[in-house]
Amino acid sequence: MKRQVALLITLFIGTLLVVSVFIPPMESLKETFTLFFDIIAVFAFFLGGGNLLRVHLTKLSKRKQDWVYSIVTLVGFTVVLVIGLFKLGNPGGIAASPTAEGSLFQTLFDNVLVPLSSTMYALLAFFVASASYRAFRAKNREATILLIAAFIILLGRTPFGMMLTSWVPNSLSILQIPNLAIWIMNSANLAGQRAIMIGIGLGVVSMSIRIILGIERTYLGEEK
């Protein structure tokens, strides 16, 4: 019974949103749902954040491996919460936006989160290199095509691409690697992109229908 209600909710809301597109008076429905979602998400955080605390506190109390680091996490978490909620060290006081210039909260962001996230992101440079060394090998035809396309584009992004093929007469300028690179981006790449996009579109449509009709219900629990 409880689950039937849930399925009905999905069915009703889903259909409603689909229909709303064709009915001008219901245009604003999307915005409303977006607002609702944001609000729900914050409530949900009490579960997520709560779980974060629980996990690390147990780790701490049970003196599990690496429990020391749990202290760091816990401290960091609570400190930010306190600073942010009471807007400590915020020039504008409680009225100002939490991310106001010069606020302690913002400083924390600039000096701790910015370096951390951008460095984590920067690691990609290394992984891209190791991946291209390890994975870009002409194992089979697909792999070879992937490899060649990537190689041409890469070359096209360097001055050497131009230098290597500068002897090519302008009548055949398409064969100059940088142009070749751009051409690949605009033709074959475009075709692939479109095929993938249309496919995705159909995938989403069909999955949404399954969900709305309650055929796909794994996320709601499958008690038998």
Q: Which of residues 122-181 bind another protein (CB under 8 A)?
A: 122-139, 141-143, 145-163, 166, 174, 178-179, 181
Q: Using the rule CB under 8 A, which residue among 61, 64, 88, 97 binds another protein? A: 97
Q: Under rule CB under 8 A, how many of the chain's residues touch another protein? A: 168
Whole-Å CA distances, 138 to 135, 142, 150, 161:
9, 8, 12, 22
Q: Using the rule CB under 8 A, which residue among 57, 61, 64, 69 binds another protein? A: 69
Q: How far is the CB of 29 from another protein (least distance, A)?
A: 9
Determine, following the binding rule CB under 8 A, whether residue 115 of this chain makes contact with another protein: yes
Give the torsion sign (CA, 198, 203, 204, 205).
positive
Q: Which is nearer to another protein, 61 or 117 (CB)?
A: 117
- Residue 175 carries which side chain, given as an amino acid letter? L
> Site residues for another protein, window 23-62 (CB under 8 A)?
23-25, 27, 30-52, 55
> Site residues for another protein, window 77-96 (CB under 8 A)?
77-81, 83-85
Q: How far is the CB of 63 from another protein (least distance, A)?
A: 16
Determine, following the binding rule CB under 8 A, whether residue 64 of this chain makes contact with another protein: no
Q: Is 11 left (phi over 0), alpha (psi -120 to 50) or beta?
A: alpha
> Site residues for another protein, window 5-24 (CB under 8 A)?
5-7, 9-18, 21-24
Q: How far is the CB of 26 from another protein (least distance, A)?
A: 9
Q: Using the rule CB under 8 A, which residue among 75, 89, 91, 175 binds another protein? A: 75
CA dihedral (199, 201, 207, 209) in degrees, to 10, reads: -130
Q: How far is the CB of 13 from another protein (least distance, A)?
A: 4
10 in helix, strand or coil? helix
Are residues 100 and 90 in contact, defined by beta-carbon separation less than 8 angstroms? yes
Are residues 3 and 221 in contact, defined by beta-carbon separation less than 8 angstroms? yes
Q: How far is the CB of 169 from another protein (least distance, A)?
A: 15
- Distance of alpha carbon 27 from alpha carbon 14, whole angstroms: 15
Q: What does the DSSP assignment read for 137-161?
A: --SSHHHHHHHHHHHHHHHHTSHHH
